[in-house]
Amino acid sequence: MSTPRSLDLPEAVRREFLPVGEAVLAILTATPAIRPPIGSFLFVPGFTGSKEDFLPLLAPVSEAGYRATALDLPGQYESIGWPGPFDEAMYADVLIRLARSQTEPVHLVGHSLGGLLATRAVLRSPGTFSTLTMMCSGPGSIPEHKQAELRLLIAALPATPIAAIWQTKEVADRERGLQSDDPAIRDFIARRFLANHPEAMRATAQILCRTPDRSTDLAQVLRHNDLPSLVLHGEADDAWSPREQRDLADAIGAEYGVIQNAAHSPAVENPDATSAALIQFANRRPVVSTVECSGAIVVRDGRVLFARRGHEPAMGTWSIPGGRVEAGETTAGAAVRELHEETGLIGTVQRALGTVRLPGPEGLPYLIHDYLLAAEGTPVAASDATDVRWFNRAELRQVESSPGLVAQLDEWLGWDRVV
């Protein structure tokens, strides 16, 4: 948790509430005068933190030509209505949904706990993001010597009221000299802490204590998807040590930066240097356009519906129904339309599965957003498809299909375990 030094909103920053699924996320956002923006920063807060922890960064990032969005995670401060469960997969899904709502390349920045959640989102859907920055975060759970208070919290929640926990914390913070001298800031810190959902607070404490080291998996995904990364921390960071974060940067092949005159909250403690480091990192990334596509995955009795391509690229191969997103169309709407055009089935979107990036025409990559759909009836080949057929995993391996498709379905559907 960071302690903001001011709660005043710069002129360019707006407070908004954004529906995501069954929840409403509270965000702070700043849109640059440059149209269209050259990219979009998505800032993810730490444990019991909030969007206000990034307030000093939003205006500088916007002035540099980037859209800037900071959020309260489900269960934090002003975000409301999330039914649960609160777990890593859910938080990753929220970040992926938010990123997909942007029309520009998304630069994902996770602070502390937010870095662990950002890592999970990138592992699940690397094609959704343009870069990853882990700010004052680590390869997995927070070091053992920092876990004692978190374990007490896990044991106490949800039975112990948040108000009782806050009273204990407030006394401890006062004795350690950690309270702000500004009454308005002290009042904000209290309101923010008390607004935490007990189950969300317990779940995020567990994530901090139990997340395995994912640096090996992350390095492979970053390298395979040519996804740039940055490890950034304050010179006196007291959560994950500077040495641990330097080792993380080396392990995943990330750029590495240290913010002087800062500890665990560089966005607050030295916002000028922090925003400059983030902007410089993003500016070094070429702005690459993509060809936006959607795919429709329909499962029935352990079999997945495939269409045989009737034209290039990959004419004659089997793949899931899909194609390019048309102007004014959402990626989910494109998946429904493509399914109907190629098979005659009318589908209903169940959930987003993930995004993959594949080589495309003239050096522009295909960014394919795949959705799980439910559909009744008998499919009939039409439009771009010359044939449609239901395959189980073993059957699909006997025909020519899109490269990597079986492995992707294994990951998203657990196909290798049920078929």
In a shared domain, residues 214 and 326: no
CA distance 158 to 170: 19
Within 8 A by CB and 6+ apart from 114, the residues are 43, 44, 45, 46, 49, 73, 135, 137
Predicted local confidence at residue 70, as pLDDT: 98
Number of domains, the chain:
2
* 7 domain residue, yes or no: no
In a shared domain, residues 279 and 297: no
Predicted local confidence at residue 342, as pLDDT: 94
* 397 domain residue, yes or no: yes
Range of the domain at 202: 13-283
Rounded to 10 degrees, the C-alpha dihedral 9/6/173/116 comes to 50
* Number of Cβ atoms within 10 Å of the Cβ of 77: 23
In a shared domain, residues 78 and 155: yes
* 5 domain residue, yes or no: no
Answering whether pTM is above 0.75, one says no
* 1 domain residue, yes or no: no
Q: Could you tell me which residues are beta bridge partners of residue 255?
A: 230
B/e letters for 333-372, b = 16+ CB within 10 Å, e = fewer, are ebbbbbbbebbbbebebeebbbbbbeebeeeebbbbbbbb
End-to-end alpha-carbon separation of the chain, Å? 45
Predicted local confidence at residue 419, as pLDDT: 44
CA distance 329 to 335: 10
CB–CB of 46/107 below 8 Å? Answer: no
Q: Could you tell me which residues are beta bridge partners of residue 309?
A: 385
In a shared domain, residues 249 and 107: yes
Dig out the tokens for 272 from the structure. 């000028």
36 preceded by a cis bond (ω within 30 of 0)? yes
* 346 domain residue, yes or no: yes
Within 8 A by CB and 6+ apart from 383, the residues are 341, 342
Dig out the tokens for 209 from the structure. 């204590």
In a shared domain, residues 41 and 139: yes
Within 8 A by CB and 6+ apart from 289, the residues are 364
* 8 domain residue, yes or no: no
CATH number of the domain enclosing 379: 3.90.79.10
CATH number of the domain enclosing 103: 3.40.50.1820
Q: Which residue has the tokens 């339309």?
A: 337
Domain boundary, last residue among 254, 283, 312: 283
Q: Which residue has the tokens 């870095």?
A: 115
In a shared domain, residues 154 and 192: yes
* 3 domain residue, yes or no: no
Domain boundary, last residue among 243, 260, 283: 283
Q: Alpha-carbon Rg of the chain, whole angstroms?
A: 23
B/e letters for 219-239, b = 16+ CB within 10 Å, e = fewer, are bebbeeeebbbbbbbbeebeb
CA distance 281 to 285: 7
Domain boundary, last residue among 238, 253, 283: 283
* 87 domain residue, yes or no: yes
In a shared domain, residues 326 and 230: no
In a shared domain, residues 210 and 252: yes
pLDDT (tens digit, 0 to 9) for every residue of the chain, 419 residues total? 688 888 999 988 999 998 887 779 999 999 988 767 888 999 999 999 999 999 999 999 999 999 999 999 999 999 998 777 899 999 998 999 888 888 788 999 999 999 999 999 999 989 889 999 999 999 999 999 999 999 999 999 999 999 999 999 889 888 888 788 889 999 999 999 999 999 999 999 999 999 999 999 999 999 988 899 999 999 999 999 999 999 999 999 999 999 999 999 999 999 999 999 999 999 987 655 678 899 999 999 889 999 998 877 778 889 999 998 887 788 899 999 999 999 999 999 999 888 887 767 655 678 889 999 999 999 999 888 899 999 998 888 888 888 778 878 887 888 765 44
In a shared domain, residues 57 and 138: yes
Dig out the tokens for 103 from the structure. 């029309």
In a shared domain, residues 318 and 387: yes
In a shared domain, residues 140 and 227: yes
CA distance 51 to 39: 19
Predicted local confidence at residue 364, as pLDDT: 67
In a shared domain, residues 47 and 180: yes
